Structure 1
């Protein structure tokens, strides 16, 4: 802070003490004059306070939503961000809601600085934080600073390699339940296979798995049962209109919009009730078997006392696990089946590796970073991150370092960017994960071999500048790097290994079938022209060649 501003803030925070001091030595009139001068000094200082560095960036003709409609309508927001980075520099600004602007980071030195200061220096927008508190409670998604650190420590025992290894049989069990259901469909269908809408089944696998591994509860959706929480997720995905989406976004800037009883708002309210009801049920059952429960919530209950985690915070973690464990894994598994259908050669190569094992992969197999299964998994995470971007607010003034200088909107060459408190900052995960700057000329191409062959054109040195999991930002980085990343990757590999050894997959209208996006909590893939977020695939039993 500049000295001028420092003096003004001292006056502001100590106004009564200064008044009393002057009055005791001079008088009320003199004190009033001096105090009035101080107030004017403070106002002028605040008005003259340094603004964020003026950065280059695109303009927008949309006064209300800035570039948000452009990003939402695009088949791929990552491509748009990369084009802007190429045109305006590695750190640039874009128009936001109601004339605001936000800063976009694609410089790796800047991203590392941002990640290191998250939860303290970069936080949720107050309205976003309020929404999270109302929707899922004061859990890990909501928490920041010391609260976030404390809650994360309490959850750590549930996400060690040993704990996840104990849960791995649940992952395989869910996959085999899906296999049994598909076997029944194929046996009663035509001899050349059946068209199955796979995204619904990936939802079932994800929900049943997080139920058993997370809470020792069987939702039973793979066996044909209906689930209130599954229906709630589906309703949010299929029943939200443009008006719902617009008022929802505006509510983060103008709180009154959050009071409009739209269909989306009412659905979210019902979903909150459903999740909290389930949370109370899970906590009750975990408390009864706290000594033997190996689920995530069971282990959390055991560590809650030592880390001073309240009942409210433990309950909120259930909602966090439901959202993170259900939605993200389902999206990734669906993208995996789409890419296998688009790329028959990759499908064959991966199946051959899995069949050579002659059994289900062991824990060591699942964690073999030299396998094609691992390469395929990393490429899905790279090209199709479930969360395409992260938005945070600067909690205090900050100076962002740059790996390479950029030219500002004023034409100056700078190697740092000043960010004023309250400025919104975006980390475009999808853009960086697929950027040609870091991943080479084929950065947008789905190519698992890049993880095995160091001579295929990838600039390894540039890719290694990315500090996240396996040089990806899919699980974020820094203090908020996803605690359940090993859980998610292990479940993904276990499910794919079972399905691919037993079935073949293809898009009914061929590998070039257009794949679009459906907006939900997270963007979901969908076959263009299909209802909702349907992804119908032609599935057959795999028969080994003689």
Structure 2
């Protein structure tokens, strides 16, 4: 019996009980009868709340859903997003076939579906028209202040998750720090440290996990660009700040723990809070140090000449002067830069390495483009002296950019948009009116693989599909409008990811250096070799189990 039928039957039973009580109350109002009637009314109210919690609103019942119990089991199992999505997709397909919403298993998926989450139904779109609506109409689709456990305490009110009114205030301070170029040295220097480690794998023939090493390298690049200090996690993976940050990220993504209603009072919750307080101290110390350094530079009449090489925190501190942007606001936005500027890019690089290893012909074509622009690398060059592309060179790598774009189509760093809530009635592409207060998101992973949009080869890795879009200047457009919002890994509209260029420059620099230094293949893990690598739980697509074998080019 499904949840809707069960709730309907339960409500019917309660109403049968309520009717005699109501009649009795009408005939007499003795204390006993009043008490009894009040109890029945209370039960009826509880039954109505139970019914409302389980049964989708009438205007949404036409949409397919994996079912409440399937959803609960999938979340409780703490499955990775891709595996979880496959479970949902199978149950939704069975539901759609049963209800005649599709004719066969080969039909494209429904453009809109819904799932039950903790007492409410979430509308999920996976078609370009509705994705565009959500991303561009931010007045009617506001972000939700959503926190489980201590995640709201960790991230605070930052520009990524803040609601529209607050976002408009924060962007005045945060946006200027991102309206600049990015010196390739910010990424080339940490990448040299990465290459030095990878040379050891190539020399020994050992197997390398790309996710582990891109995470470390991206964290070093992020701290160098954001704060001017490289924490060197490549060489010191067990440094206290590295361990603390990685633990915080793992805990904040563990739904199995966070869905516990007593989490804050549990041992795990208390440990999480203690880590957050330590991390806060690290961030606040950095803010105070940078503030003092800026004051000292001004007093000495000094000023940085290279804007592209300046760190983000300094620029935010300067932009915040004379505004009501608080020290706590600086902390919240600094923390979100750790995540948005590190994990997302690291995952994109991991999947690019994976896909290039699975497709040697694409890898070689990308390598030849890099060689044509930078020249070939001398195999005897020490890692610490290895060339990295200049700004003009990395911008000229059109095919490599197509590789990156296609990688982020198949494996968007963020598989689903942060949840929105409608602030006024809105109309979806199929004419459905969503009333105010409806929770909505976009399934980017499914959008990017939607056969109705991409055709029968939707799941195939084909970077050349983007070559048609290369402009006269050699640039590949990376905004969602260029693909009619069928591709949107960085979001879109006014709230498009501010770190988009930061990520793209980093990816081009690192991949170009790896292509010059090595050839590689994917080995080992059966799921990865079958084209379906596992990922960690949560909407950040972090690959698990991918194994790569590197070979130094030109080295016998």
Q: TM-score range by the shorter chain?
A: 0.7 to 0.9
Q: Distance in 1 between matches of 2:190 and 2:411?
A: 23
1:194: Cα distance to partner? 2.7
* Counterpart position of 1:214: 226
How far is 1:517 from its partner? 1.6
User: Aligned-pair distance for 1:81?
Assistant: 7.2
Is the CA contact 1:136–1:272 (under 8 Å) kept in the aligned structure 2? no
Q: Is contact 2:187–2:510 with CA below 8 Å preserved after alignment?
A: yes
The residue that corresponds to 2:533 in the other structure is 515
1:476 counterpart = 2:491: yes
1:54–1:512 CA distance, 2 compared to 1 (3 A): closer
How far off its partner does 1:288 sit?
A: 3.0
The partner residue of 2:194 within 175, 178, 183 is 178
1:101 is paired with a residue whose SS is strand
Distance 1:157 1:295, change over 3 A: same
- Deviation, structure 1 residue 542: 1.3
**TM-score relative to the length of structure 1:** 0.74
1:268-300 Cα offsets, whole Å, 9 max, x none, are 324422431221122123213334481011111
Would you say the 8 A contact 1:66–1:96 is kept in 2?
A: no
Paired with 2:86 and 2:222, the residues of 1 have a C-alpha distance of 33
User: Is 1:399 the counterpart of 2:442 in the alignment?
Assistant: no
Conserved in 2, the CA contact under 8 Å of 1:196 and 1:538? yes
CA deviations 1:301-346 (Å, max 9, x no partner) are: 1111255422211121110111111211111111111111111111
Whether 1:203 aligns to 2:247 is no
1:331-368 Cα shifts (integer Å, max 9, x gaps): 11111111111111111111121122216433233234
Quote the residue 1:62 is aligned against: 69
Q: Residues 333 and 492 of structure 1 are in contact (CA less than 8 Å); yes or no, is this contact kept in structure 2?
A: yes
- Deviation per CA, 1:232-261, whole angstroms, max 9, x where unpaired? 3443576799xx6235236xxxxx444341
Residue matched to 1:140: 159
For each residue in 1:403-446, what CA deviation from the matched residue of structure 2 results, as whole angstroms up to 9, or x when unmatched? xx4xxxxxxxxxx2222333221210111122122222211111
5+ residue gaps, structure 2:
1-44, 102-108, 295-302, 376-386, 470-476
Query: Which 10-residue stretch deviates more, 426-435 or 227-236?
Result: 227-236
Q: Deviation of residue 82 (structure 1)?
A: 7.2
- Identify if the C-alpha distance between structure 1 residues 335 and 353 changes in structure 2 by more than 3 Å, giving closer, same or farther: same
Give the CA deviation at 1:124.
Answer: 4.0
Note the C-alpha offset of 1:200.
Answer: 1.7
* Partners of 1:98 and 1:235 in 2: CA distance: 26
The secondary structure found in structure 2 opposite 1:96 is: strand
Pick one of 416, 426, 431 that aligns with 1:389.
416
CA RMSD, aligned part only?
3.5
1:544 is displaced (CA, Å) by 8.1
Q: Which residue of 1 aligns with 2:338?
A: 322
Provide the rounded CA distance (Å) in 2 between the counterparts of 1:422 and 1:70. 29
Q: Secondary structure at the match of 1:164?
A: coil
- Kindly tell me the number of residue pairs found equivalent between the two proteins: 455
Q: Distance in 2 between matches of 1:200 and 1:398?
A: 45
Match of 1:231 among 239, 243, 249: 243
Q: How far apart are 1:102 and its partner, in Å? A: 1.7
The residue that corresponds to 1:12 in the other structure is none
CA distance in 2 between counterparts of 1:316 and 1:452 reads: 39
Aligned to 1:445: 460
- The separation in 2 between residues aligned to 1:203 and 1:181, in whole angstroms, is 14
- The alignment partner of 1:482 has SS state of coil
Q: Which runs of 5+ in 1 are unaligned?
A: 1-42, 251-255, 406-415, 455-459, 528-534
Cα deviation for residue 226 of structure 1 reads 3.2
Is residue 496 of structure 1 aligned with residue 501 of structure 2? Answer: no
In 2: Cα distance, 1:224 partner to 1:66 partner? 39
Cα deviation 1:363-421 (Å, max 9, x = unaligned): 2332347x21111010111111111112424243412241xx4xxxxxxxxxx222233
**Aligned partners of 1:239, 1:139: CA distance in 2, in Å?**
20
Cα pair distance change 1:80/1:483, threshold 3 Å: farther
Matched residue, 1:277: 281
1:159-186 residue CA offsets vs partner (Å, 9 max, x unmatched) = 12xx333x32111111111112223454
Residue aligning to 1:100:
120
- Separation in structure 2 between the aligned mates of residue 240 and residue 158 of structure 1, nearest angstrom: 27
Aligned partners of 1:130 and 1:186: how far apart in 2?
43
- From 164, 170, 174, the counterpart of 1:155: 174
Distance 1:129 1:178 in 2: 35
**Residue 216 of structure 1, CA deviation:** 0.8
Alpha-carbon distance in structure 2 between the residues aligned to 1:521 and 1:444? 19
Cα-to-partner distance string for 1:44-72 (whole Å, 9 max, x where unaligned): xxx99x96554321352518727756994
Aligned partners of 2:238 and 2:413: how far apart in 1? 25
Whether the 8 Å CA contact 1:68–1:96 is kept in 2: the answer is: no
Structure-2 change in CA distance of 1:240 and 1:378 (3 Å): closer
User: Contact 2:388 / 2:513 at 8 angstroms: preserved in 1?
Assistant: yes
- Whether 1:365 aligns to 2:393 is yes
